[in-house]
Structure 1
């Protein structure tokens, strides 16, 4: 399929080459012609100089036949305007925009435009590696949805939940087990899978529930006693 990319920085150029290597055709838009030096000759031949929200520029890049559009320039405003034009004017099915200000994610989400918050995601990832459990709850964020309301975190299995089933954990707490790591291997457990000592849970939960999830993981309520 044909894909149009706005922004020929490191992300845009890397994305363009990866897509071409996967067999897709790509056109990269950037207002700075020097940026195209990052592209290999075959990719640079389809590069278009101009603004990503300019309809003529987009048409020249093949937006009318494009199946996807990625706005990954260095400006939030440029990215979101270009993404809206691609989505609303040209009806491109798959559109994504890179953002630096995570506070804008909810706004873009309501417009139907998926976003990638690079600064927020990068900062959290680095922080997790430097100071495990640095969110203050003992659950380090691995992923967060663009709206910031849902997160995936990891947590070593507390002894209190050993030998219980996944379905018991999910019934007792406001979470879902995405997968678990056991003995260095990743498992996609069934609901009746019994948890074992040493398991590391990777759970999905709402950000607002993390504190209660952490507390109840470490100290189950009396109503959550282990079944014999």
Structure 2
């Protein structure tokens, strides 16, 4: 598979090395001559000292026959420009962009980038694994961020304890669909009765998160006196 990588920072360098080790045909574009020379000393002549934001340079790199273009510079705007040209001017089947600012993710999706890699979002997801149980855990975003897949843990004092789904006043645009109890996932049925320790997976519109939290988790319990 022929792959064009734009950006010779640490991400682009290691990505190129891994792709070469996997047997792919790769070309790396890096506009900084010193950095390009450093990488070329290690991986050879596949490194081109070119600015991937310019169409003529992408053409010089053989983008017309590329199956994938990965824009992984440290600049979100540059990555978007590269993917836009690759997709709309050179008809590259698959574009991948590194996005550092999560606020740009919806824009990238709207403009047709096939896959978005957000280091910030990945780190945030890892951190959220250790958030207090009285918070909602964000698992995924759907429909360009309009819908959220969330996990809520039922705890002591939750208004959902002992109730069935029909007894919970869910906001419009919200659905409960998976219950995890004793590490076993099961569908939420009309006769399901929520218990302390249950984890509930829900899909909700972003603006309904606060109402969902109130119904499933309620307010956090006060800390016991010292």
Matched, 1:102 2:99: no
Question: What are the Cα deviations for residues 22-55 of structure 1, in whole angstroms up to 9, with x where unaligned?
Answer: 44332221112444546894x5442222111223
Alpha-carbon RMSD across the aligned residues, in angstroms, is: 3.7
TM-score, length basis structure 2: 0.70
Distance 2:10 2:108 in 1: 23
Q: Name the residue aligned to 1:3.
A: 3
Distance 1:77 1:129 in 2: 30
Extract unaligned runs of 5+ from structure 1.
220-228
Extract unaligned runs of 5+ from structure 2.
219-226
Q: Name the residue aligned to 2:137.
A: 140
More helix by share: 1
Matched, 1:93 2:93: yes
Check the 8 A contact 2:176/2:200 in 1, yes or no.
Answer: no
Number of aligned residue pairs: give it: 209
Shift of 1:112: 1.6
Structure 1 residues 212 and 206, CA gap change in structure 2 (3 angstroms): same
Structure 1 residues 50 and 157, CA gap change in structure 2 (3 angstroms): same
Q: Name the residue aligned to 2:63.
A: 63
Q: Name the residue aligned to 2:221.
A: none
Structure 1 residues 164 and 13, CA gap change in structure 2 (3 angstroms): farther
Shift of 1:218: 4.2
Distance 1:21 1:170 in 2: 54
Check the 8 A contact 2:129/2:137 in 1, yes or no.
Answer: no
Q: Name the residue aligned to 2:16.
A: 16
Structure 1 residues 25 and 103, CA gap change in structure 2 (3 angstroms): same
Secondary structure, aligned partner of 1:53: coil
Give runs of ≥4 in structure 1 deviating > 6 Å: 168-171
Rg larger in structure: 2
Q: Name the residue aligned to 1:223.
A: none
Question: What are the Cα deviations for residues 195-223 of structure 1, in whole angstroms up to 9, with x where unaligned?
Answer: 7753423433222111111122247xxxx
